[in-house]
Structure 1
Amino acid sequence: MTDHDSSSSLRDLQRHGVSVWLDDLSRELTDGGELGRLVEAGVLGVTSNPTIFATALSKGDRYTDQVKELVAVGADTEEAVFQITTEDVRKACDVLKPVFDRTDGLDGRVSLEVDPRQARDTAGTEVSARKLWKAVDRQNLYIKIPATVEGLAAISTALSEGISVNVTLIFSLDRYRAVMQAFLTGLEQAKQNGHDISKIESVASFFVSRVDTEIDKRLEEIGTDEAKALRSKAGLANARLAYQAYEEVFSTPRWQVLKESGARAQRPLWASTGVKNPDLPDTLYVTGLVAPNTVNTMPGKTLDATIDHAEVTGDTIRGSYGEAQAVLDDLERLGVSYTDVVEFLETDGLDKFEKSWTELLQTVTDELERVRTQVEAQ
């Protein structure tokens, strides 16, 4: 990663209300001290997903000792995955604890995802969320729950039990509104259950670059000048309209009641912020999405680019709603169906998560087998 002296852009983002999180996690990062250095440079949180864990495990030997212990107790693959991922997240939570304390629990958070195979199973997700929350046993943990229709009730349930939640895989504005309602319901129930709701945090991960990737593909197929002129505009437009929805929901009387009891708003988190198209500026989804009370979680490459040369000019969301709506209207007029795109992206996103999970299981199976063979040969 980049030399961290030039972290003024991260401070600039923070000054404008954007918390920068790293979308990466490995034992190499925590044990090697790199995460600590990034935190000093201004990184305020960490998100993880099955792909990240699978990649981390296949590199280096920092997991070998734990794998040996797991082999010794006869752990199966599922149990090994659970132990390895919760250990990684616990370590990251400890590195970020000073940030958590300094920001009164707003930042310094680490996200860990429920088994994505349960994304369409409300009860399964609820059980998984409880189990992970208990196992990691850190206040600065977020349990990541996909924003499927079936996930909405699980989000409310987790929050009602005092579990902080990162809602992931949000593509559509309608679904985002439903997520915010699920958040309010969860907090209302938590309050009834006697929880201190000022301690329950949540973010809603709204995906950005994948929207452009899919819509740009469809615009290329249309091929007209008008279609080409709309390329790479939908991702930002969609996210900006999400922020408008956030402003609306968190100014309602229903929210006001919770706020008076100490609740903090569920922040919009911009996810999938690495540009997929090499022709685009590499900090497009960072500098184009600056507004108060937001989070931007970045893969290492985007974080490096942001530290190196992002020009933060201030709020780039509020005041752009009319323009953003016009982009979506123009796409619809050209025959690019918003509903079709967001439905496809959710299904595709879940497929990708499940595929990564299968890869993770396979990686761990191979690792257990390798160590078992070594031990037997000794």
Structure 2
Amino acid sequence: MNRTLKCLADEGVSVWLDDLSRHLLRTGRLARLVRSGTVVGLTTNPTIFHDALGEDAEYEEEMQALRERGMSALAAVRALTTGDVRAACDVLAPVYEATGGRDGRVSIEVDPRWARDTERTIEEARQLWHIVDRPNAMIKIPATVEGLPAITTCLAEGISVNATLIFSVRRYHQVIDAFLTGLEKAKAAGIPLSEIGAVASFFISRVDTEVDRRLDAIATSAAAALRGRVAIANARLGYLLYENMLRDSRWLELRAAGAAPMRPLWASTGVKDPAYVDTRYVTELVAPGTVNTMPAATLDAVIAHGTVSGDRVTTNYDDAWVVFGQLAEVGIDFEEVLEQLEHEGIAKFQTSWQALIGAVERLLSGGRS
């Protein structure tokens, strides 16, 4: 294993890949990444699937078969995406077995059109769980207000969940409650808790992108000093909440019954501002019991020149509180930022989903994606 990746593993960080394509599967590259210990899990989203379909000629053979069957675009999307996720689950199955279900997970997202519809999200999650039919699958459910009861219901039914699109500590607190409630219901129903996996995807880089834009508009030295500090501070305070959960009596009772914690997963870790070091959302968020899911470019950067200097989260809580005090002083309403980011995050995945369906419709009709 690469030295930097080994340091991350030694610090309790699980490295997952935020990417999936037919090419990654058929060339054996994913299998090599798994065998070498480079990655121990994988996440997907509608944008990843749309990009893969547009760039990967290896889907053409299956598209021809789907075309001959007269399959609708939506059904074809379901077949293509769940097929890739099932294959990735099989590649990562040895990791799942070796880690007792801690890692070796592959996430697939529910139809983002239902992010504000609890019942449709639950039904979609059940269908995806049934179709993929692998114990190491995870169903990604947006952590909207409407998504919270869906998270609880799915966990209560034994469905492993990746609660995604979390931007705020306040929402993360609600996700933790949804997690604990779901496991309590599963326990009451006699479902083995040890078989249920869960992570909470806390988004990082998008926070800095929006906050930095507002700081630049203020154009003062105090505002400039906060550039690039807010996303990491926000995530660190999220981890503090995770630590508090581990001491909660509700959790301790569930742990005694065999449950595994809902680990924080740092998502959106690709650096978007070229002024920043391209590994910062990995090396600055090292803490025990976390997952960092990286796009391929970020993973390559970490391997090439990432430097791990121990736990950078629990030693910096005081600094995180200072950052938010200063953010308020320069006049930025962080709650407003978070609401905007959630709205935009849902809209972006909905746009990618519609683009994916449109691309498949063109392919089914004999055109190009």
Normalising TM by the smaller chain, what interval? over 0.9
Paired residue type of 1:36: A
Q: Does 1:367 align with 2:358?
A: no
Q: 1:252 is matched with which residue?
A: 248
For residue 19 of structure 1, what is the aligned residue in structure 2? 14
Name the counterpart of 1:34.
Answer: 29
Q: Does 1:287 align with 2:283?
A: yes
Asked if 1:124 corresponds to 2:90, the answer is no
Within the alignment, does 1:220 sit opposite 2:216 as a pair? yes
Deviations 1:204-250 (A, max 9, x none): 00001100000000000000011001100001000000000110122
CA positional deviation for 1:61: 1.9
User: Residue 45 of structure 1: CA displacement?
Assistant: 0.6
Q: Does the 8 Å contact 2:105/2:138 carry over to 1?
A: yes
Aligned equivalent of 1:321, options 317, 322, 326: 317
**192, 195, 202: which one aligns with 1:196:** 192
- Per the alignment, residue 270 of structure 2 pairs with 274
Aligned to 2:93: 97
Cα distance in 1 for partners of 2:149, 2:352 equals 25
Give the TM-score taking structure 1 as reference length: 0.96
CA offsets 1:88-118 (integer angstroms, 9 cap, x no match): 1001001101111111111000000000000
Letter in 2 for 1:269: L
For 2:62 and 2:253, locate their aligned partners in 1 and report how far apart those are by CA, in whole Å: 47
> Match of 2:164, SS?
strand
Determine helix, strand or coil for the equivalent of 1:319. Answer: helix
Residue 142 of structure 2, aligned match among 127, 130, 146: 146
Compute the RMSD of aligned alpha carbons. Answer: 1.0
Matched, 1:303 2:320: no
Letter in 1 for 2:15: V
Does 324-333 or 65-74 show the bigger shift? 65-74
1:3 is matched with none
Cα deviation, residue 60, structure 1: 2.8
Instruction: State how far apart, in whole Å, the 2-side matches of 1:191 and 1:239 are.
Output: 30
What does the per-residue CA deviation read over 1:335-354, in whole Å, with 9 as the maximum and x for residues that have no partner? Answer: 11110000000000001010
Superposition TM-score, scaled by structure 2 size: 0.98
SS at match of 1:45: coil
1:83 to 79, 104, 122: 79
What's the CA shift string for 1:37-58, capped at 9, x where partnerless? 1113320011000011011111
Q: Which amino acid counterpart does residue 75 of structure 2 have in structure 1?
A: E
Is 1:160–2:160 an aligned residue pair? no
CA drift of 1:319 comes to: 2.1
In 1, Cα distance between equivalents of 2:300 and 2:315: 29
Q: Distance in 2 between matches of 1:14 and 1:339?
A: 34
Equivalent position SS for 1:11: helix
Aligned-pair identity in percent equals: 53
Matched position secondary structure for 2:58:
coil
Counterpart Cα distance in 1 of 2:204 and 2:240: 15
Report the count of equivalent residues.
367
Q: What does 1:60-79 align with in structure 2 at a 5 Å threshold?
A: 60-79=56-75
SS in structure 1 of the partner of residue 274 of structure 2: coil
In 2: Cα distance, 1:175 partner to 1:140 partner: 26
Gaps spanning 5+ residues in structure 1: where? Answer: 1-5, 374-378
Code of the aligned partner of 1:184: L
> How big is each residue's C-alpha offset from its partner over 1:185-209, in whole Å with a ceiling of 9 and x where there is no partner?
0000011111000110100000011
